[in-house]
Copies of this chain bind each other. A is one copy, B any other.
């Protein structure tokens, strides 16, 4: 368990560097990330490299005892490069080149940019690959951020056509897979396929799904150009990429195959403001963040990283980029840090060492203020460092007993044909995560391709495509399994399966979905479970089955059916019904639940239990009477935490 920080020596006078390094170490930091936006200073003119400043920065930081994460600077190709090669630019969905002037303005499909990226990474790796201070590498920065995965440039069009040809072999096979006959959308050749933008009404979902897969593959391919070089030139160092939160536009697992560990950038307040949360939630969790947002991503990226993850950028104070940017509660930066560690983060690295007094992020706080006074976030980081030291090594977190299935491709599938505009894969999975966590459960986020052995309960709230191998592996676990609506509702190409939804799941659960409907916000439909009538929303299916119903609709028809421990929901439940369903299933799976007070969440590492309070009021720590507190005590302050051994 280490702490780190992101640092931009190129933004500050050289005279400050040694003192900065000394103070980092004093504060208890071990890692420092540099370089990831510095291309214009590393190579100020075509082919002329200015290594002097970076050499000195690396030496200075290393000499202070810090380990470096060196970032490749490919998120920010400099102006001279763009002007020499305008084909580097990505195009937006409106059909226009996205111009230089901020960042991430490149096309993943630009062959020119592939070569240029390789050239700069090669140069960096050649110079620092075996430098003893370099402990790890970060490729690029926040792939997909600012809606940059999908590119509608001529480069992308050419590459997409090649990708399709490789996937299908013949255009007839492609047309058949999509059902291109509909509306005479047959393509005479791969070269005739256009990108799915600027069509009169929605594009063909088969083409659209392949375009999303292609775009995701392009990210992984681009990243691999860099990791291949770094592995060759800098053996023994971990390679990572800093993923962004709430980003589903490419398959992070595919990118992570070429990484040693995943990392992500955790901005709880910016995320609360920017995403789907209600006005009431945005007010209530204003300075703490939503109770499930950081934990959800910790568990997601721990899975993406096959068990290993960092927080590469931890919010240290107010950010600059949301519509509104409140300050965290005092103590919140400490709480977020411990939450990450409790969920298994190897390192928590703060963004950034010192608030920059200029440019787009000048209103983004750092551990230090622009006048180099240690800010509140810096004080809290130091406190965490002291606490880490005091506690010594923590037990490892065991694999959780509950697996929650998230799938990037499922997210694209739902986005392409939501049927109900408010239905979103990420949100459905997130709601399920929240319900499990309100029961005090530890959760592993898994992809359908992951090993599922050992789980007692597997929840797949939204998996429109089910592969039989996945179902076989799932059956082998012996776990209780819950499928949400739309499971198995599509085949590999996006078509409705011949046997109707839930497709191959019918081999295990004898039911057919006879009819579906999507419901607008404000419309509910009754579901009877035991003696209680709850409400469903968003989605409702008529199920054709003889399986026993665990819950029924108002008309008495089955709404939730089960067979030998596997069950299927024909609707999407309101929160209280979801809590009830998961409570029942957890009990049946032999799991102990701890219904938690609003805003409180738990996480275990071995015999250590952490409790976090995201409510703006104090809460009792849900600790047994005999608990021995190692952090905090029996009262969790607003935004506070405790940890105990029972």
Contact = CB atoms under 8 A, between A and B. Distances in A.
Contact of A320 (B184, B419, B540): B419
Q: A182, A318, A356 — which one has the most chain B CB atoms within 10 A of its CB? A: A182
A103 interface: yes
Nearest to A37: B183
A356 B180 CA distance: 12
A201 B76 contact: no
Contacts of A499: 371
B99 A96 contact: no
A197 interface: yes
Given A10-B181, A495-B362, A201 B519 contact: no
A298 to B, nearest CB: 25
A203 B146 CA distance: 13
Contacts of A404: none
Interface stretch (A39-47, A108-116, A442-450, A466-474): A39-47
A104 B357 contact: no
A435 interface: no
29 contacts: A11-B179, A37-B183, A73-B184, A76-B183, A76-B185, A77-B184, A78-B184, A79-B187, A83-B188, A90-B200, A94-B94, A96-B198, A98-B198, A98-B199, A99-B194, A102-B199, A102-B203, A146-B201, A201-B360, A204-B360, A282-B520, A286-B520, A326-B517, A358-B493, A362-B495, A363-B417, A369-B514, A371-B500, A375-B514
Contacts of A498: 357, 370-371
A207 B512 CA distance: 57
A196 interface: yes
B326 A196 contact: no
B179 A358 contact: yes
A348 interface: no
A579 interface: no
Nearest to A81: B184
A101 B369 CA distance: 53
A510 interface: no
A399 to B, nearest CB: 38
Contacts of A512: 371
Nearest to A538: B324
Enumerate the 6 nearest inter-chain pairs by beta-carbon distance, A residue then B residue, closest first: A179-B358, A182-B359, A40-B184, A101-B199, A357-B496, A324-B520
